[in-house]
Structure 1
């Protein structure tokens, strides 16, 4: 079984250099057949001796395609039976031997994730239950608290794409990641469609350790919240009754109005800059969210 590693990058060369170093250190058995690095039209030149890495194929996009399209491009180029998809800031800290062995031993296994830690060695998020309408009715923080007490089944969990492995045939059958998402929720959508196919199994290969630093795409709180709502609504419309989604959008809009006034006239705990940023995010969503009906 051939293993292809796909990494995407936009101006994250320092992370890419570390990722390549870790991959080399932990591939003593020469399991990796190729590393495909998609440079999404970076504006910063790399300072990496690419020629020292065997089987590395650097592919430069002539214009910025975005994360999802770059992932699809890399996976289509990959010649391996098995694809390991990594963010630039996701580092393989253990041998990859088990990755190939587990997939070889289990022909029905189509998708896998791993043990994940942050830069301080603490356990970090790698998946979430398939999101429902509550994710926009309650918002991210309230829904996270809800999920803490009402956890879904791990068998249908949605894996985050910063470090996952899947068969090339699975990628082809699902026709890749949906490029209508900018990057948020594209992996959730991929997992949902994977489970809906009812053809393959998924599994956590706990012996493989990944460090994910995160924060590779810094953005303000308001921009993150706005992107969350637009991507999540798109995801929910694909997988739910459209009228129920419309009701959820209206309820979310009412909550955002309440949050806006609380932030504007009530809560003073945040720094002033953070508070203003949150107010502006809610203000934008209040003006525009109902256009999603």
Structure 2
């Protein structure tokens, strides 16, 4: 194995992308609605990925017998998972949503152990545990009750937001596990992402035809929201998702998903900058635990 933990670095880079995706997407899900906003971003990202894959001639890297796995990964990971992620973002805000999404790490580790025969050493399990503990601490002790900014407010019942957020995490974990064998077979990460996101775009466009209010946009697009949608799609689906797929093809599912799930810690200083509300000491303690946990994983890579 290379001395440079490329897969782990890619997973961390994906977490950074998703941090800014959450901030950019928050106003959009309120303006358009979660389903419509996710449809716009998935269609844009799918188009970009298909163009890139075609220009680079990467389609041939995907085995014909891998299509079913990628379609399944697309359905649970993007159509269901990403739509649930946007709905949870609308209900509970980016910071709370990110900590719920971090539970995709232990979910993926469990699925990888059951279905992919993956194993984790004691030190790696300790590193993953420290990261998850840090993630929970960063958000739980990072909350403030006074003068809540709009990014921190809960819309509707908190319990529903938690349930939807956990659904998003499960979708992400299951989608990662389904895509893993395809990547091990030699599929290019960009081509695999193009198929996953492109198929999800087709499904979400078909959903638009359903005679339900939730399938349609709540408001017309404006230039500001179009920019936010394209930026969110580029960071979250084009860059973030491709980095995650790349990492999955070269690292253990549990490790990759754990490192990609540290968004709740990265998002703390970003939310502080935007809201002007400094996270508590406990939140920074959580961040320190994440750094230590990441170091343990890197030392074993």
Normalising by the smaller structure, the TM-score range is under 0.3
- Structure of greater relative contact order (alpha carbons < 8 Å, 6+ residues apart): 2
TM-score by length of 1: 0.26
Higher strand share: 1
TM-score by length of 2: 0.26
Higher helix share: 2
For the pair shown, the structure with the greater C-alpha radius of gyration is: 1
